[in-house]
Amino acid sequence: MSNGTAKDQIVLLGLNHRTAPVEIREKLSFAGRDFDPVSLFLELPLVREAFFLSTCNRVEILFVTREPEAAVEGVKEVWARANDLPVSSFEPHLYQFRNREAVKHLFRVASGLDSLVLGEPQILGQLKEAYRRAAERRATGVILNRLLHKTFSVAKRIRSETGIGSHAVSVSYAAVELAKKIFGDLREKSAMLIGAGEMAELAAQHLLAQGVEKLIVANRTLSRAIELAERFRGEAISLEELEDYLLKVDIVISSTGAPHYILTAEQVKRLMRPRKMRPIFFIDIAVPRDIEPAVNEIENVFLYDIDDLKAVVEENLAYRRKEAARAERIIEEEALKFEAWLEQLEVYPTIVALRQKAEAIRRKELEKTLSHLRGKVDEETIEALETLTKSLVNKLLHDPIIYLKNRYHRDGQQVVDFTRKIFNLDGEAPLESLPPEIHLPDEAEEKTKH
């Protein structure tokens, strides 16, 4: 980076489920709009790279700029204008992170540490999709490309090195995990869902993911049962057929809105003889309850209700919180590594300029020499001189470049400015014209100091 040029900075502006209600988030999400918000923000001259993430729980813009204060104000104005809102309507809900803190926040989001459900994995897929869209529009450059790829690898590392994603923390998932504890393996097992609402749908997804062979959906409204059964390649029945089908299944998850018991202890007791006492597992996640509690007293019948599941979920959440502390250490470590890379990026233009100047001098001096030797030496000698001069330049530059990279972490822009001055990379006055009172330490002094 040339002398006096501002450094690239990473800025993240956003709001999420903790800082803003859904009616604010949805107004800033650009959902259903026929243009890409990344392109909109890139129209700002101060925004060099940009990435926009919108999910049901968060809306965030990540961008690179050299003038963060002015760029933040510009981004807020564009965001407000594009959604016909005053900045004041959402500004109190915004959070802002810069540089290392922005990097850490992104790593936390990708790893599920900032999610409504701690450790949930869906956000990583949403981040990848948002990055794909931004990359297609060439909205990301050297810095954000590196940052997003690093984000994905950090999330993968956290998943593999911690238990942040293990142990069920949703009621539906906990229900299926309990079924696994009873039966061990759910493959070749059959399951019934009583009710066809959202909880039943989630349970169906988890059951099929665990290899359940057959799924039956029972519902008061048969059309809704058919709709859900078709989605999961199952079979739909009416509530009147319940007892007949209970003879065939191993797992029952009930989540209706009925005001009374759908299954009584007497009904289940009658079923056990024709079932030949084969175990059956009931999970009642309805409020009020669908299954009479006395069912649990019948031999080979296991019944869990919503309170049992919530206790499991809370225990599992406590485990995830403990694992989150380990994840935070990984994030801190990786953020420091990325910061070091970003700092070195600031040095690269100076290294390139140094190499270019050295190469220009080498070519000029070699050309001068060769002009006196034309016709006196063969092509092989010319090639040897070319190789020799290149090798000399590379060896002479090696130590200054290593010094520049290493000292930048300690002295920052000061060492870049000094390098540019000492090698006159910006076309300033040559070294010999410096006033005599400016003292440059010789090599012996440098060794003594370091």
Q: Which residues are tagged catalytic? A: 56
Nearest CA among 83, 10, 15, 85 for reference residue 48: 10
- How wide is the angle at C-alpha 314 spanned by C-alphas 311 and 319, nearest 5°? 130
The end-to-end CA distance of the chain, in Å, is 26
Are the beta carbons of 254 and 203 closer than 8 angstroms? no
Four-residue CA torsion sign, 385, 387, 391, 397: positive
How far apart CA 189 and CA 360 sit, in angstroms, is 75
Report the distance separating Cα 268 and Cα 372, nearest Å: 107
User: Which of 137, 113, 116 is CA-nearest to residue 52?
Assistant: 137
400 within 8 A of 381, measured Cβ to Cβ: no
Separation CA 450–CA 446 (nearest Å): 6
What is the rounded distance in angstroms from the CA atom of residue 289 to the CA atom of residue 256? Answer: 9
Distance CA 118, CA 106 (A): 15
Residue type, 347: V
Largest distance between two CA atoms of the chain: 113
What backbone phi and psi angles, to 5 degrees, belong to 216? Answer: -120, 135
Residues 6+ apart with CB under 8 A from 357: 423, 425
Residue 323: closest CA among 213, 159, 171, 162: 162
Q: Name the phi and psi angles at 46, rounded to 5.
A: -80, -15
- Grouping H, G, I as helix, E, B as strand and the rest as coil, residue 28 is helix
- Separation of alpha carbons 52 and 127, rounded Å: 9
Show the tokens assigned to 39: 């392109």
Q: How many helices (H) and strands (E) does the chain have?
A: 15, 10
DSSP 257-302: --SS-SB-HHHHHHHHTTTTT--EEEEE--SS-SB-GGGGGSTTEE
* CA-only gyration radius of the chain, Å: 33
Indicate the angle between helix axes 306-373 and 379-411, nearest 10 degrees: 140
CA distance 390 to 429: 27
